[in-house]
A and B are shown apart, each in its own frame.
Chain A
């Protein structure tokens, strides 16, 4: 049995956003930077770029990468196309560790690449650390009440898809360490080198005929962030302010049965036992008491609750609870969130 030879590289699959890299990519690079320090490794970033080409390398200075690998020629790659680029990069650079963001696309790309390499992939990691070259990957287990620490002892590269969780989720993690310049061992303060390769094309792949952009805030059940308006908003004006906040942070808006009954929100916005069921990553509950009927329709990973009633049941369920009258918050919120 030959052990697989690897180099001292951590390969990170990056995504571009409106300006520069996506927030998830930034988090991945922070995580990779910490690991690089722990294990004396180098961070390589991987981008699939289209006709625009690679953005100026100076923009990547403070992100801790030694090299940027860009596959050019694909405007909006399919999962398989992106996976082929990742596989090609893995073959070329033989990284020890590969990190991919655990968003919808990452959850397709990573397993395609991992299966091609016949290596292990741990999905939705909320924590990563190195122990003697072995990547300890932490993720929620089973129904989310426990955490599992997973390793890939023999296969290489060790692949992990990384998901951000609300701050202070658990122990020796590094995913949420503060943003700061991480020094690449080889080059301090210098822009990473770039390597541009032609994107390989998979033999048989799906063919996209057309795309339509979706306004995700409209879709209550699929929204990643939901603002729920409750009776504590004291009227349609309060609900309008909640709607404004939702719009500012890109959240969908829902409400409790009490709010819908009073006509402050239309019926299809009702969340709860006889309304919609939501499973967002984050629920911001404003003036919501958190009755059994309401919570029956909520499967949120994280809840931030604001309620002036310290008795409100939701305060016992939220990860972050705040006892305060919302009217006291709106004036300054108007400035902060604008």
Chain B
């Protein structure tokens, strides 16, 4: 991100800032773009004093309208886009960053091992210790232009969640500006629940059962704030836990000629532990067609051959290890698995190290292509949304889960693009609806599936959050006690509803 040469006082919010990736439309609001941390803090404090609501924006790549303003001001954090400092800890390194720092810049700076720090106080010994080997930040959501603040707000995860978990596992702390205007440091393990109560920094007490929020009994404040979609306060900096980068990365893609074979293959990999596996994903035929059609307009896909003709589904694996022979033997096992389900081992791709990026490009092309399809349908004049699932459904095999979804879709005469993470059936089923009747049927189907997911203890709003788009769904699908618990936290931390108003909880 380049700082523009002149700060401007033009208050008008351009149309681009009234939407996010979901195309959910906001209401005209004033746009503030604070240039640095001090300006941001001043703005926040003043707004709190005056009772002016704020909706925070990063790169606006969200899928649920979480950053779209419906009342008050839009506050863009895109100028707070730099790393702040680097510290060595017993476990490794912590990188403190501003909330507007994006994932792509983080990746670039980590691979170059060079940062444009704001702080001048980064010790030379720390830097040289850091440079002695490559480090990475394990979460790898596909949207590289997203900001770290946004990823924390939605508790984003990528395909690597299979092994590494979500961003929550890799954030050691953050600085948080609360409703009283004070900024406080929130570190792992400092403020936590005991018997349904937590003493907040600043002296207040929060009384809520964390299990109702989907958190563990001993969850701490950090777990509460990560994934809170900006509703409780403003994150002004984050401390990222960097881990030593694996010496070897392999990305494998198996193309199968039927959905059944592909699902069976993924189930084989889930059942039989492949030690270096960090992600296991599934792409259906419609997803592969999406990739094919995106090749016409996206140059970066032209460097990658198209999926082979006759491929009806694909299974994607990523291996991380410091020991290449471990990866090689896992790859050989995976090949054997492919032959076991009746797949053709020649219909496969093996991409190593820097080339592994190609598989991520293919995988990310699917949601991107979906966005493009949405635009095309809208251009015809119908304000359509994508009715998409974002929940986990532990228990049944991928084979069974997919078969059920297909059966239900067929029964309702609907078509879907299905892709996602095989573990816990974390599938994104995207039903593109073109008229009211289809939308209604799709929403009913989604509610039905959510119910089944809830039965086996699935997480109903996994990676994308709830934002504004899924408020009603959230209220309907979750148990009343869950919705009440969220309300309690909101009332305690943001009594005047000034932070990201109208996210998650319909008033």
The reply on B299 being an interface residue by CB < 8 A is yes
Min distance, Cβ B373 to any Cβ of chain A, angstroms: 10
Interface centre among B4, B6, B300 (most CB of A within 10 A): B4
Closest to B1 in A: A292
Hey, which chain A residues are within 8 Å of B379, CB to CB?
A: 263
> Complex formed: what's the CA distance from A275 to B371 in Å?
12
Interface residues on B, range: 20 to 34
Contact B372 A267 (CB under 8 A): yes
Given the interface contacts A231-B16, A274-B298, A276-B298, does A293 sit within 8 Å of B376 by beta carbon? no
Hey, which chain B residues are within 8 Å of A276, CB to CB?
A: 297-299
Hey, which chain B residues are within 8 Å of A183, CB to CB?
A: none
Bitwise, A236-267 to B at CB < 8 A (1) or not (0) is 00000000000000000000001011010001
Hey, which chain A residues are within 8 Å of B59, CB to CB?
A: 292
The reply on B257 being an interface residue by CB < 8 A is no
Hey, which chain B residues are within 8 Å of A313, CB to CB?
A: 1-4
Closest to A321 in B: B5
The reply on B128 being an interface residue by CB < 8 A is no
Closest to A263 in B: B379
Bitwise, A268-292 to B at CB < 8 A (1) or not (0) is 1010011111000000000000101
Closest to A312 in B: B4
> Complex formed: what's the CA distance from A258 to B5 in Å?
23
Bitwise, A285-326 to B at CB < 8 A (1) or not (0) is 000001011000100000000000111110111000000000
Closest to B372 in A: A267
Hey, which chain A residues are within 8 Å of B52, CB to CB?
A: none
> Complex formed: what's the CA distance from A276 to B303 in Å?
12
The reply on A108 being an interface residue by CB < 8 A is no
The reply on B342 being an interface residue by CB < 8 A is no
Majority DSSP secondary structure for residues of B touching A: loop
Given the interface contacts A231-B16, A292-B145, does A310 sit within 8 Å of B8 by beta carbon? yes
Given the interface contacts A276-B297, A292-B145, A310-B8, does A231 sit within 8 Å of B14 by beta carbon? yes
Given the interface contacts A258-B16, A297-B299, does A274 sit within 8 Å of B4 by beta carbon? no
Closest to B8 in A: A311
The reply on A219 being an interface residue by CB < 8 A is no
Min distance, Cβ B463 to any Cβ of chain A, angstroms: 19
Given the interface contacts A274-B372, A275-B297, does A310 sit within 8 Å of B145 by beta carbon? no
Closest to A292 in B: B145
Tell me the chain B residues, 348-372 only, with Cβ under 8 Å from chain A. Answer: 368, 371-372
Min distance, Cβ A119 to any Cβ of chain B, angstroms: 36
> Complex formed: what's the CA distance from A273 to B5 in Å?
24
> Complex formed: what's the CA distance from A277 to B302 in Å?
10
Bitwise, B1-39 to A at CB < 8 A (1) or not (0) is 111111110100011100000000000000001000000
Min distance, Cβ A311 to any Cβ of chain B, angstroms: 4
> Complex formed: what's the CA distance from A308 to B15 in Å?
16
Contact A316 B5 (CB under 8 A): yes
Given the interface contacts A267-B297, A276-B297, does A315 sit within 8 Å of B16 by beta carbon? no
Min distance, Cβ B21 to any Cβ of chain A, angstroms: 11
> Complex formed: what's the CA distance from A277 to B295 in Å?
12
Contact A277 B376 (CB under 8 A): no
How many of chain A's residues have a CB under 8 angstroms from any CB in B? 26
Tell me the chain B residues, 371-415 only, with Cβ under 8 Å from chain A. Answer: 371-372, 375-376, 379
Contact B6 A310 (CB under 8 A): yes
Contact B102 A292 (CB under 8 A): yes
Contact A311 B7 (CB under 8 A): yes
Contact A310 B299 (CB under 8 A): no
The reply on B304 being an interface residue by CB < 8 A is no
Contact of B299 among A221, A260, A312 (CB under 8 A): A221
Contact A310 B5 (CB under 8 A): yes
Hey, which chain B residues are within 8 Å of A310, CB to CB?
A: 4-6, 8
Contact B4 A316 (CB under 8 A): yes
Closest to B301 in A: A274
Min distance, Cβ B108 to any Cβ of chain A, angstroms: 12
Contact of B5 among A268, A270, A315 (CB under 8 A): A315
Hey, which chain B residues are within 8 Å of A268, CB to CB?
A: 296-297
Given the interface contacts A261-B375, A316-B2, A316-B3, does A309 sit within 8 Å of B8 by beta carbon? yes
Tell me the chain B residues, 77-117 only, with Cβ under 8 Å from chain A. Answer: 102, 104
Hey, which chain B residues are within 8 Å of A260, CB to CB?
A: 375
Min distance, Cβ B145 to any Cβ of chain A, angstroms: 5
Hey, which chain A residues are within 8 Å of B294, CB to CB?
A: 274
Tell me the chain B residues, 260-311 only, with Cβ under 8 Å from chain A. Answer: 294, 296-300
Hey, which chain B residues are within 8 Å of A292, CB to CB?
A: 1, 59, 102, 104, 145
Hey, which chain B residues are within 8 Å of A316, CB to CB?
A: 2-5
Contact B8 A274 (CB under 8 A): no
Closest to B145 in A: A292
Closest to B369 in A: A274
Min distance, Cβ A242 to any Cβ of chain B, angstroms: 19
> Complex formed: what's the CA distance from A309 to B4 in Å?
10
Hey, which chain A residues are within 8 Å of B297, CB to CB?
A: 267-268, 270, 274-276
Contact of B2 among A221, A274, A317 (CB under 8 A): A317
Closest to A232 in B: B14
> Complex formed: what's the CA distance from A292 to B10 in Å?
22
Min distance, Cβ B33 to any Cβ of chain A, angstroms: 8
Closest to A293 in B: B145
> Complex formed: what's the CA distance from A316 to B4 in Å?
6
Contact B102 A315 (CB under 8 A): no
> Complex formed: what's the CA distance from A312 to B371 in Å?
25
A interface, CB within 8 angstroms of B: 221, 231, 258, 260-261, 263, 267-268, 270, 273-277, 290, 292-293, 297, 309-313, 315-317
The 5 tightest CB contacts between A and B, nearest first, are: A277-B299, A311-B4, A310-B6, A316-B2, A313-B2
Excluding A258-B16, A273-B145, A274-B371, 18 further A-B contacts by CB distance (< 8 Å) are A260-B375, A261-B375, A267-B375, A267-B376, A268-B296, A274-B297, A274-B368, A290-B2, A292-B1, A297-B299, A310-B4, A310-B8, A311-B5, A311-B6, A311-B7, A311-B8, A311-B33, A316-B2
